[in-house]
Chain A
Amino acid sequence: MIRLAQFFTAFSVLLSWIGPGFALSEVEMQQMLRTVDDRQRNGGDYKALCYIETKEKGKSDVVYDAVVYRRDIDDKLMILFLRPKTEQGKGYLRIDKNLWMYDPTVGKWERRTERERIGGTDSRRADFDESRLAEEYTPTYGGAEKLGKFGVHKIMLTAKDGVDVAFPVVHLWLDQTSGNVLKRQEFALSGRLMRTAYYPKWTKLFSESKNAEVWYPQEIRIYDEVEKNNSTVVLIREVDLRSLDANMFTKAWLESKSR
């Protein structure tokens, strides 16, 4: 019996080293997160056209057209809604630790938290911003799994102390081959599952400022796990990594684009 137990232990250890599903060490997981962050980080400026479609139970679907501007070197982010006309001019501006929302109908800026639903959709600020997983979370390994045809590593993340994030617990499914995020589940502090997001399409383009390639998801499908029938799809199009104009990331600039 003891021999049998010893055999299974040795076999398990062997499997953990030779199989694709071997457990990742914390150092390896940190490296994977840094890779995910670095591949999406530009180091310069970033502009993308986003279409955001929301589906809610009992309501007609709404499609938003927004432009996302980033100046990664300063951690600045701006989201400006262009369409539909009723939302035109609404915007978000992140400078340092401040996230402000501008509502042109009342002409007022208000501070918002990381939990803010961008434009009332299921998306959050982090969906449009550069990835900061390694800075913000501590990983633990959840095992090797299959996601459709893809072999994935499941990594469970817990927010570091003092870091303000929308969700304190995140589960990530990373493609074992490319390292890209394919699935992401976000949990409240109570352990309740809040959102599930899928990243079925990734692409890249060359960045002169980074002198390397920058990866971005072309599509994010977000499912509200609280209001089960609500979902949001974000399509990221026309990513442009050329330098943006100076003096853009200000409240006044965003106000000047609204009514």
Chain B
Amino acid sequence: MMVTLAMSFRFSCKPIYMARIAVFVWTTSTLVFHTWLQSPLYAETPERREEQIFGDETDPKNEKSQQDVGVPPDAVAPAVAAPPFDSIAAEKDMFSEDSGNGEAISRSNLMSLGEDILQIGGQLYLRSAYVIQEDAAFSDNRFLMPNLLDVYFDARPNDRVRGFVRGRLTYDPTTTGAATEPYGSSHDNPDVLLDQLWLKFDISRVVYATVGKQPVKWGTSRFWNPADILYGQLRDPLTLFDERTGLSLVKLHIPVESLGWNFYVIGMFDDAASLADVGGAFRGEFVWESVELGVSAAVRDGVKTKFGVDISAGIFDVDVYAETTVSLGVDKPVLKLPEGVDPDLVEQAAGLIEDLIKPPGVDENDTVVRIAAGLTYGIRYSDEDSLFLGGEYFFNPIGYDDKDLYPLLYALNIAQPLYVGRHYGAVYVAMPQPGSWDDTSFTLSAIGNFSDFSFLTRLDVAIRVLTYLNIEVYAAGHLGAHGGELRFGTDPLQLPTGDTVPAIAAPMVDLGFNLKLSI
């Protein structure tokens, strides 16, 4: 052993081998040192970080400039905004030996030359849902994939003029031909809709006009929005995405920035075949301290006049909100035909149907006040995470006290989800990005129709993966009274027209999986 070691030492002491060893050691150590420099262990230490940013005090080669941090103040070059014109400085800048550093035309203005004023984009929203129904075999449960593609064209020739078009394609591959709702209403599949089509410009930067089909959302509540008085159809609180298409409006917006106030004057043109059919609306928004107040009104021939008030305020960690609408009468429902029902028969039976579906004790000329109110309380449970507890109540005096009329309402497609009953309530817990799960959010909610005592509990999980892909997963359970709004099912039903619509099984559990990508 000793002999072997001695021989190898003599062998390795030869100059050529010594040189090779030196090269090997140098190369290896350089590689190791370089790898260490690149490693997070080295780069992430605060000391190293500060040395990189502010220079090493002991390293005379470090050229970290005192000017960078503001020393001396006079030595710093001027930036973009021009000071008062100084001809000497300007001539020096243009004609001195070191001229050419300044930009005669700003970079953003130069870049704007290369920008196309038209942008094209959209959203791809692939949705799938599985509904486990009562008394149904597992294989017979309902499966649907109401996929959706929004595509927009957005033209901005300058910052005062803008044109926008957005179309929507819906497609459900689980059905062929027309897509059919539970009670038989149908629409084309695939179907194409015009969501938005508007032009926007300003008049002397005082009045801001938006003309065309455009989305409008008024109100502050999370679940129920009675103050959203321009839309005939209120948003379904259970949907993750507002599928309502825009309204045809001429909207004039007059802001008073010094006060934080906004005023809107609106002309409504949907279904306006003559000037008499054109509706009008007004809204004022006022901010004071941490309180925001909105007041609105809408008038239109053939539709009851409505007034709305909404308010929100931040009080410490609690957000309080409320909204109400006052309607000078009850609008007649627009009857929609189930699949296969003779339109003439429905027209003949319309009066009978309206009498049948009228909520007890409600007269067409009654003034109706609908109120929604709620609060959200943010609780910090760690240094950087909060959970939010919320509750909301909705009073709907033109709703139904019991569930007996629901089958007819659903058969005629006039039941608006979560606006059928008289009393509603909801509670929820939201945990956005808990702990190190920065791309995941959880929301557990429970909604109840206290008029028929049916309930729905739902867990929503939203996850962002691969930077841009959003995944939404949910599971919901239907509880409470059979036949109630949130656990609705019925036997075959005979309409006043003589037609029969088939039975529908009540849902027990909903499972959903959605993929969303902005394109």
Contact = CB atoms under 8 A, between A and B. Distances in A.
Q: Which 5 A-B pairs have the closest CB atoms?
A: A148-B54, A178-B70, A188-B383, A206-B83, A205-B79
Contacts of B237: none
A194 B383 contact: yes
23 contacts: A85-B121, A86-B518, A107-B215, A111-B312, A147-B50, A148-B64, A150-B69, A177-B66, A182-B69, A188-B383, A189-B383, A190-B383, A194-B384, A200-B69, A201-B68, A203-B77, A204-B76, A205-B83, A206-B84, A251-B262, A252-B208, A253-B255, A259-B152
Contact of B467 (A60, A192, A215): A60
Contacts, number: 179
Interface of A: 49, 56, 59-60, 62, 74, 85-86, 95-98, 105-108, 111, 113, 115, 120, 146-150, 175, 177-180, 182-183, 188-190, 192, 194, 196, 198-208, 213, 215, 221, 223, 226-229, 238-242, 245-253, 256, 259
Contacts of A249: 257, 260
Interface string B234-256: 00000001100000000001011
A198 B50 contact: yes
Contacts of B162: 256
A240 B83 CA distance: 11
B438 interface: yes
A190 to B, nearest CB: 6
A175 B81 contact: no
B437 to A, nearest CB: 11
A253 B217 CA distance: 15
B383 A192 contact: yes
Given A188-B384, A206-B83, A256-B162, A221 B518 contact: no
A199 B53 CA distance: 9
B40 interface: yes
B258 interface: yes
A98 B287 contact: yes
B9 interface: no
Given A85-B121, A149-B55, A201-B69, A238 B242 contact: no
Contacts of A194: 383-384
A98 B314 contact: yes
B163 to A, nearest CB: 12
A196 B72 CA distance: 26
A213 B285 CA distance: 37
Interface in B6-64: 40, 44, 46, 49-51, 53-57, 62, 64
Contacts of B242: 106-107
B378 interface: yes
A62 B468 CA distance: 10
Contact of B289 (A97, A146, A250): A97
Contacts of A56: 438
Most A C-beta atoms less than 10 A away, residue of B72, B262, B378, B383: B383
B287 A202 contact: no
B108 interface: yes
